[in-house]
Amino acid sequence: MDRATDLDVGSIAAAEAMRPFGEAGRLALEQVRLRRRALVKHPDGDRLWWTAEALEQSTPRTVALHHSRRYGEATRVLDLGCSVGGDLLCFGDRGLGVDLDEARCLLARVNTGAPVACADVTRLDPRGWVFADPARRVAGRRGFDPSSWSPSLAQALAWDVDALGVKVAPGIDHDALPPELEVEITSLDGDVKEAMLWGGATTRGHRMTATLLPSGAQLHGAGAVAAAGPVGRYLLEPDGAVIRAHLVAEVCIAVDGRLVDPTIAYVTADALTTTPFGRWYEVLDVMPFSLKRLREALRGVGTVAIKKRGTAVEPETLRKQLKLSGSGSATVVLTRVAGAQKALLVQPL
Ligand SMILES: C[S@@+](CC[C@H](N)C(=O)[O-])C[C@H]1O[C@@H](n2cnc3c(N)ncnc32)[C@H](O)[C@@H]1O
């Protein structure tokens, strides 16, 4: 490993330098490559052991630290399906991991120093405070059906435990979940990272929560209903966690705004109100969606950012059709306003 650490891992020279070590040399290079990649998600990723798939599945540290705080009162946390320890690390010396995969159990023990048992969690009858991040890949592809996960969602929800946290797909149908569970959707730097279901002692009294990391700003569902109305001077694009948590109406009311359309997650307002829950744009022009009108509006513009919601138009196809040329740049929002397809020329604030 030490010999591979300083090499340019993708280069032929690195492969040549490690050739004398055979398969061990190839694995060392692969590990160095994974460790460098891991730094994006884990500040100490370059001292941990990975497999490519385990790294991809691992919870980013900022997110794992956030949800581990729900276990503040626990003396023991069972991490069922702990993989190489992305979450287990954040439970500190209270953590106890279980995984089906022997190699991952081995790496998790080295990575975390926690006890890790190699077992099938579907055959266990866990007690106490439990965290589970089920494997959601079926034959290498992301599975959206909770009954195809391992453990399945039904199996995890049937555990008779004091406190439960289960990571689920962010697009899960909230309405189909048992009413006593709480749902938290978390984004990191604007990208939706996870949805957690909370039960028992990990609950906080809010059915729906959107959490924005790294700031930690949280928005809770209040059953708000927002009105729709004409596009004003400003447009707010809510954070993905807010949209997935179905809390756009809550943000809309908080910024004294209105929806551009009852079915679309864009908020408009006549004045700016500071909010962590979305990004503001100034609206420069609103026009019916037409290629000719857009070409005219974008004369002299060479670079355009295209945002869309509620339209079948493909940004890349449109970009080609626009045949842009010039030194200017612009942002266009394609969406539905009061039921009609519109193009909004906007400027990020
Ligand atoms: C999505 S990964 C967990 C990632 C982990 N939370 C992290 O941040 O590193 C799911 C893990 O569940 C394990 N797993 C799947 N089915 C299992 C079962 N029936 N029993 C125990 N572990 C299982 C897989 O081997 C995999 O390591």
277-294: per-residue pLDDT in tens? 999 999 999 999 999 999
Reported as type and span, the H/E element at residue 260 is none
Confidence of residue 241 (pLDDT cuts 50, 70, 90): very high
Tell me which residues have their CB closer than 6 angstroms to ligand 1: 57-59, 81-87, 98-101, 104, 120-122, 133, 135, 150-151
With pLDDT > 70 as the criterion, what percentage of the chain qualifies? 94
Distance between Cα 82 and ligand 1 center (Å) = 5
> Which protein residue's CA is at the shortest distance from atom 14 of ligand 1?
81
Q: Which atom belonging to ligand 1 lies closest to the Cα atom of 134?
A: 10
Distance between Cα 1 and ligand 1 center (Å) = 26
Ligand 1 pocket: which of 88, 116, 133, 152 to mutate (most atoms <8 Å of CB)?
Answer: 133
Q: How is the chain split into domains, by residue range?
A: 2-38, 55-218, 234-348
Distance between Cα 99 and ligand 1 center (Å) = 6
Q: Cβ(235)–Cβ(267) under 8 Å?
A: yes
User: Residue 12 in 3-state DSSP?
Assistant: helix
CATH of the domain spanning 55-218? 3.40.50.150
The per-residue pLDDT for 100 is 97
Q: Which amino acid is at 150?
A: S
Taking the C-alpha atoms of residue 336 and residue 76, their distance in angstroms, rounded to an integer, is 50
Q: Which atom belonging to ligand 1 lies closest to the Cα atom of 104?
A: 27
Average pLDDT over residues 60-67: 98
The per-residue pLDDT for 222 is 82
The pTM score is 0.90
pLDDT digits (tens, 9 = 90+) for 140-162: 667 788 999 999 999 999 999 99
Lowest mean pLDDT among 171-180, 273-282, 303-312: 171-180
